[in-house]
Amino acid sequence: MKIFKYLNFIPYLFKLIFRFVREAYFNYSIQSHLFKSTRFSIGKDVVINNFQGFTPPKGGKIGNYSRILLVGFLNDQKRNQSIYLGNQVIISQSVELTVWENNHLIIQDNTSVQDNCKLLGSVTIERNCLLAPNIFMSSGNHYYNHNPYDLIKNQDKEILSTQEGVQAHVKPIHIEEDCWLGLGTFVKRGVYIGKGAIIGAYTSVLKDVPPYTVQLGSPNQTVKKRLDFIPPSMINATNESHWPYFYRGFAQQASIRSKGLEQGGLFVHNKALITLEKKPFTTLKLTLFLNPGITSIEVTVSLNKVLISKLTLTPKQVQYNIDVTDEKYNQAINNLPLYPTILRSYHLFEFETSTDDAQDQLNYGVCCCEIV
């Protein structure tokens, strides 16, 4: 009888061996398809249906049972879609990331996405954000009044059967740096969440969120503020009360920030944004620094997406006075509708180098920025 007992265990043993071999092969397959220079942790039973257009999280993690899906409504292989996960991004268990045509889902460095979150479509989450479990956000929609007599699924299919319908379908979601979204948050398509915002548990975010506010309720309402976000006309990186106005793309994790401050500023990623007081000015004064060992670097500076200067930084040239003509200033003011309504109350200075996200290096930094 004991022999039969052990024989009954054999199928279970083979099942365990098969599962181990399958998972090992799957992990090897994923690693071999993705960039060889990328090292990241991947859990069991993860689904990645298309390696083209997917950038994994260098030094990060994709947890058990998560799904990374690049799919489409149309029978067109050129879908203009991507999923990008930045350095040290943590994707926990049973998370779904899905894009369709004309969708780009971006999760920047050091952001964590906890269990059972669903991020669908064109969603951008900037650096150093925290997403609690069970969050849902989608840049798409269902259609019920195109032909109210018909099934919703039929209306969806009809509208999304054309390129025009697919393009109109997308209203991107943008979440700025240092945001914390609580358990069960819902984010409506087209919503902008400003830097440093906190969204309470089970909040329905149906409208844009100002920077550094705390939101609760359905629809979301401001219940308090982390700080009063009032950009001055001059910011200096050595003044910690100015750090919020180094709005996006600056290395503000404590260990890296301290190294930048040793040189009097904050290191800059390949793209960055500074907010200053919205008032007329004729000159932008900049004090920058180069990372030791860098001989020169090209940086473009724009005001509200209007190019105002192309700089060549060298160790001997780090201070600049950039004159802004009335024509460029007026053009920049006319460009403000390109930004979320909440940001139109400020001057927005963008800094960009020629490196892409995959080659992002902290080659230079900003010490001081002033308009006069």
* Residue 195: band (very low, low, confident or very high) from pLDDT cuts 50, 70, 90: very high
pTM for the model stands at 0.88
pLDDT at 35: 47
Q: How far apart are CA 257 and CA 284, in angstroms?
A: 24
CB crowding 5-28: b at 16 or more within 10 Å, else e: eeeeeeeeeeeeeeeeeeeeebee
pLDDT at 18: 67
The pLDDT tens digits for 311-360 are: 999 987 789 999 999 999 999 999 999 999 999 999 999 999 976 555 67
The pLDDT tens digits for 214-272 are: 999 999 999 999 999 999 999 999 999 999 999 999 999 999 999 999 999 999 999 99
Q: Which residue has the higher pLDDT, 212 or 3?
A: 212
| DSSP-assigned states of every residue in 294-338 | ---EEEEEEETTEEEEEEEEBTTB-EEEEE--HHHHHHHHHTGGG
- Of 89, 49, 46, 88, give the one whose Cα is nearest residue 69: 49
pLDDT at 161: 82
The pLDDT tens digits for 306-316 are: 999 999 999 87
Q: What domains lie within the chain, and their CATH numbers?
A: 39-225 (2.160.10.10), 234-371 (2.60.120.260)
Residue 109 pLDDT > 80, yes or no? yes
Between the alpha carbon of residue 139 and those of residues 74, 172, 287, the distances in Å are 17, 5, 39
Mean pLDDT of 111-136: 98
Judge whether 356 and 270 are in contact, CB under 8 Å. yes
